[in-house]
Each structure stands twice: as C-alpha cells, then as structure tokens.
Amino acid sequence: MFIFHNGGEPKVYLSSSDWMVRNLDHRVEAAVPVEDPELKKELIDIVNIQLQGNVKARIPDNEQKNEYKRTTGKKVHAQVEIFRYLHEKTYNFDGLNN
C-alpha cells in the first residue's frame, strides 16, 4: 500500500508486495488507486495503528537484526488494536447490534 499525503487530500494505492528485481525488470507491476473515501480512511487508520504498535514490533534494517521496537509509555499491541477497531466499526454500523 502506498499513501501519499497530497497536501491534505491523501491518495492511497494498492499494489503487489512482491517488488523484487525479477518482477520489476521482467514483468508488469500495477498499482490501483483506492477511490472509496470510507475504504481509504479505513486503510489509513489500520496503517496508523500498525505504526503505533510497540508490543513484539520490530524495526527492519539492512543487517537483518530486526530489533524489537522500544516500548515507551502505553503498550500498543497492533494486532489486538486492529481487531478492536474493525470489531467496533462492524458492530456500530447501522443495523448491526444497535
């Protein structure tokens, strides 16, 4: 996923995650824009939750040490928070459990 801030009007694109030399040099890789405002917001929210995660989160690096992200302040378990986000969104949707 690519997110471009675009002066306050974010643009979001989805694409293959297999951007290896063999694919970029010998195949056609395509990215598609996400046009639906609600879906775009949901994807951005999920990425932001992932970026806040600090429980078992790792920082990838070129040396492949991939050390754990330091926990400062409140612990945020990204997988649990994404589940909560989607669960709340589903059950607060019009017509569901209201």
pLDDT reported for residue 19: 75
Whether pTM exceeds 0.75: yes
Mean pLDDT across the chain, nearest whole number?
Answer: 87
**Is a pLDDT exceeding 80 seen at residue 63?**
yes
Give residue limits of the domains in the chain: 1-35, 36-98
Query: Mind listing the pLDDT tens digit for each residue in 26-41?
Result: 887 888 999 999 999 9
Tokens read off for 91:
């059950």
- DSSP secondary structure, 17-59, as one string: S---HHHHHHS---EEE---HHHHHHHHHHHHHHHH--SS-EE
Tokens read off for 35:
């046009």
Over residues 54-67, the mean pLDDT reads: 88
